[in-house]
Homo-oligomer: A and B are copies of this chain.
Amino acid sequence: MAGTLVGNALVGQSGGPSVVINQSLVGVIEQARKHRRITKLLGARHGTLGMMAEEFIDLSRVGARRLEAIAATPGAAIGSCRHNPDEADCARILDVLRAHNVRYYFYIGGDDSAKSTNIIAGMARAAGYRMRLVHIPKTIDNNLVGSDHTPGFGSAARFVANAVRGDDLDNQSIPGIKVDVIMGRDAGWLTAATMLARRKPGDGPHLIYLPEVPFSITKFLKDVRRTVKKHGRAVVCVSEGVRDASGKLWAKRIATESEADVKSDSFGHFQLSGTGALADYLTIRIKAGLKSLGVSRVRGDTFGYLQRSFPGFASPVDQREARMVGRAAVKWACQGRSGSVAIKRKAGKPYKAQAALIALKRVAGKNRVVPKKYISPSGNDIRPAFRDYCLPLVGGLPATGWLD
């Protein structure tokens, strides 16, 4: 029967892990067991690197209890990679997939993962090799086109909003100027989520800067000065991806020219995370530029990898949806479809969302930025409407109380 494609399935995880990427993995594993056309489910060790090296593990026999424990655990349980396969790599991968009779291909990752999946899909078609390929979304950056939001974002947003709330309470305790640098290379979604830290007027973050708005140090210092004059302190959230008017990353601008410092990752991206340089630079500029304010405490923190890896603090909605997209991918593949799983939000309240399958090329290599409607006209804050968008994804924050 032409419609029935029987063979092995392969699943891989790619890019920076999140705290729910294993939910999607477990969703694939669970669902694959329900379909008789999937003979065996292989896991690629470290994504496309493991595919090229034929490093697979058999995921057919992992017990249900262990699966639940893995699902609740941050990190990529079968290993991830920062490898952006070129045409030759993809040709090699297709050869390996054919050799292992892989007919169902699931790749969990961001826009780069959708891209490589799309390339392999095209090569398989051209070679007349029947295969279903589904990209499963994962990125704390929330920047995939075609989705209301991405698995991984809600939990990272929950972490950063809660961290900034705590940091703001710390700053209320001992007033000063605090700069927090938040992940997000090409889009400011995660940095925008810090606005959820506010409970009442006067609470921080008082200023929020996204990559979507050109970042000027002169304006930044003016903003901080005005905030300190008003509140006697300032908590400022800055995306690691802020750029100057010419589009150049500030993190790149301030890096020294030494080989050791200016380092690109193997996707060809400049290294932003895993360094405190931007926060340190901004605090130095504040200390030098705002001496007349007489604020002795100026500090900078870079939230770093904790945003995507802190165990036991995931958003329940995010966990559920990450599982859902993994399951949905297998269902669609077994119905003969290929594409990228997207999350669509239903209109109205309470919050509801469902999975949809969209074309790989819509997502591949694309970047979805924070729309203007969420950014204040001054370019240094997030509008209240963003709370309605973001809070359901985060699932609430721990309760806090204070003396007023």
Give the distance in Å from the alpha carbon of A81 to the alpha carbon of B175 in the complex.
Answer: 9
Given contacts A173-B17, A274-B299, A279-B276, contact A167 B305 (CB under 8 A): yes
* 10 closest A-B pairs by CB: A276-B276, A69-B401, A274-B299, A312-B398, A75-B169, A301-B304, A166-B309, A76-B173, A73-B400, A170-B309
Least Cβ distance of A160 to chain B in Å? 10
A313 touches B313 (CB 8 A): yes
Which of B13, B287, B309 interacts with A263 by CB under 8 Å? B287
Oligomeric state, in copies: 2
Within 8 A of B (CB), among A260-289: 260-261, 263, 265-266, 271, 273-277, 279-280, 283-284, 287-288
B397 touches A312 (CB 8 A): yes
Which of B16, B66, B283, B301 interacts with A305 by CB under 8 Å? B301
Q: Assign chain A's interface to a size class.
A: 35 or more
A178 located at the interface, meaning its Cβ lies under 8 Å from any Cβ of chain B in the complex: yes
Contacts of A397 in B (CB 8 A): 311-312
Given contacts A13-B173, A170-B305, A276-B280, contact A311 B162 (CB under 8 A): yes
Give the nearest-CB partner of A19 in chain B: B166
Give the nearest-CB partner of A398 in chain B: B312
A173 touches B75 (CB 8 A): yes
Give the distance in Å from the alpha carbon of A297 to the alpha carbon of B403 in the complex.
Answer: 45
A347 located at the interface, meaning its Cβ lies under 8 Å from any Cβ of chain B in the complex: no
14 contacts between A and B (CB under 8 A): A17-B170, A72-B400, A74-B170, A75-B166, A80-B173, A170-B308, A263-B287, A265-B297, A266-B296, A274-B283, A276-B280, A301-B302, A301-B305, A311-B397
A310 touches B166 (CB 8 A): yes
Contacts of A75 in B (CB 8 A): 166, 169-170, 172-173, 402
